[in-house]
Amino acid sequence: MIWTRPHLLGLQDLGREEILCILDLAASFKEVSSRSIKKVPALRGRVVVNLFFEASTRTSNSFALAAKRLSADTMSFTSSGSSVSKGETLIDTARNIEAMGVDAFVVRHSASGAPHLLAKHLQCSVINAGDGCHEHPTQGLLDIFTIRETMGRIEGLRVAILGDIRHSRVARSNAWGLTKLGARVVFCGPPPLIPRGIKECMDVEISHDVDEVVESCDVLNCLRIQFERKAGNYFPSVREYAAIFGLNGERMKRARPGCIIMHPGPINRGIELTPELADGPKSVILRQVENGLAVRMAVLYLCVGASRGHAVGGDRDEGRTE
């Protein structure tokens, strides 16, 4: 296919073929990470900047390493210690850094729509690394990649997304992407943590019965309770939440034999799921992190290197080591 998008702002915007294009390209980039020289020259001379206004461990480091594996120059901006503390706006901050000759911003922000705003005001590519409670498209893509790699398909699977749906950009990106590829998605959690009306916007099922969901699903993707967004105000106690909605060994006895457990991280161990499940044989949590690198290489390559209308899968040089 011909990739023409300079930005990746969400999976709601993407078509099925575009999602498959990213996943297939990520599979070929994953092979690069198994080589002795884990680097290709695809983005040599390009500049990729991490612009993070919210904390991150996985996404920021994964994008930074992905850009380096593609031979791009990288810069990292965090709002603490910057001129944001003197009142500089988001747009002014980004435009001033862009003036240094930037090709792409990877943006995380607590405000939903912040990357979309930047995409309107900047010349360079903008990739959403998580905006408020809206979308986290590369997390959705790496989750879908991991499900496809582990289960061999997406079509026809029943995927449960468990927990704090209300505050979760991961839930939204997963649901958009998975349903476009033919999976059935069920959001499961306490009623106050599932936004009213979400079924009218997305093709998802709603459940409040974790045991039923554990029995009937192929994938259990547990979400972090976002205490920093006051999610703790939506249920009486953490102990009660863990007992009624958390995954534990007893509950998993009902699960299908090939069922996998996922979590985007960071984990509240003992709340969303017990440590023995997080570290156990059904868990693919670290494989999600591993796959995130390949997915982000594919996204950077497509948006920064191929978005000028080049065919993907033709004479790209991502397979050639330096």
* C-beta separation of 81 from 91 below 8 A: no
- The verdict on 179 binding ligand CP (CB under 6 A) reads no
Q: Does 168 bind ligand CP (CB under 6 A)?
A: no
Number of Cβ within a 10 Å radius of residue 209: 12
163 binds ligand CP, rule: CB under 6 A: no
Q: Which residue has its beta carbon closest to ligand CP?
A: 59
User: How would DSSP label each residue in 65-89?
Assistant: HHHHHTT-EEEEEESTTSGGGGT--
Residue 268 interacts with ligand CP (CB under 6 A): yes or no? no
Beta bridge partners of 260: 219
* C-alpha separations of 34 from 66, 69, 272 in Å: 14, 12, 32
Q: Which of 139, 207, 226, 274 binds ligand CP (CB under 6 A)?
A: 139
274 touches ligand CP by CB under 6 A: no
Nearer to ligand CP, 116 or 136 (CB): 136
Min dist CB 68 to ligand CP, Å, is 17
**146 binds ligand CP, rule: CB under 6 A:** no
Q: Is 127 helix (H, G, I), strand (E, B) or coil?
A: strand
State the nearest-atom distance from the C-beta of 295 to ligand CP, in Å.
Answer: 12
DSSP-assigned states of every residue in 259-299:
-EEE--S---BTTTB-HHHHTSTTB-HHHHHHHHHHHHHHH
Q: How far is the CB of 33 from ligand CP (least distance, A)?
A: 19
- Spatial distance between the Cα atoms of 172 and 164, rounded to a whole number of angstroms: 11
Token digits of residue 225: 């309770």
159, 219 Cβ separation under 8 angstroms: yes
Residue from 132, 195, 232, 265 touching ligand CP (CB under 6 A): that is 265
Q: Which stretch binds ligand CP (CB under 6 A): 8-16, 70-78, 119-127, 259-267?
A: 259-267
Among the residue ranges 93-101, 199-207, 262-270, 311-319, the one whose residues contact ligand CP (CB under 6 A):
262-270
Task: Rank residues 137 and 305 by Cβ distance to ligand CP and give the closer one.
Answer: 137
Asked if 128 interacts with ligand CP (CB under 6 A), we say: no
Is 207 one of the binding residues for ligand CP (CB under 6 A)?
A: no
Chosen residue from 56, 74, 173, 174 binding ligand CP by CB under 6 A: 56
Fill in the per-residue mask, 58 to 87: x = in contact with ligand CP (CB under 6 A), - = not in contact. Answer: xx----------------------------
> Where does this chain touch ligand CP (CB under 6 A) — which range of 50-58, 65-73, 226-234, 251-259?
50-58
Alpha helices in the chain (DSSP H): 16-32, 58-69, 90-98, 114-121, 137-151, 169-180, 198-201, 210-216, 238-245, 249-252, 275-278, 285-300
Of 97, 131, 91, the residue nearest 115 (C-alpha): 131
For ligand CP, the closer CB: 104 or 312 = 104
Residue 189 CB contacts under 8 Å (≥ 6 apart), including other chains: 162, 163, 164, 165, 208, 223, 245
Q: Is 130 in the site for ligand CP (CB under 6 A)?
A: yes
How many residues in the shown chain lie near ligand CP by CB under 6 A? 10
Residue holding tokens 């909605």? 245
**Could you tell me the smallest distance in angstroms from the CB atom of residue 264 to ligand CP?**
4
d(CA 246, CA 251): 9
Contact with ligand CP (CB under 6 A) among 264, 296, 297, 316: 264
Applying CB under 6 A, which residues contact ligand CP? 56-59, 130, 136, 139, 264-266
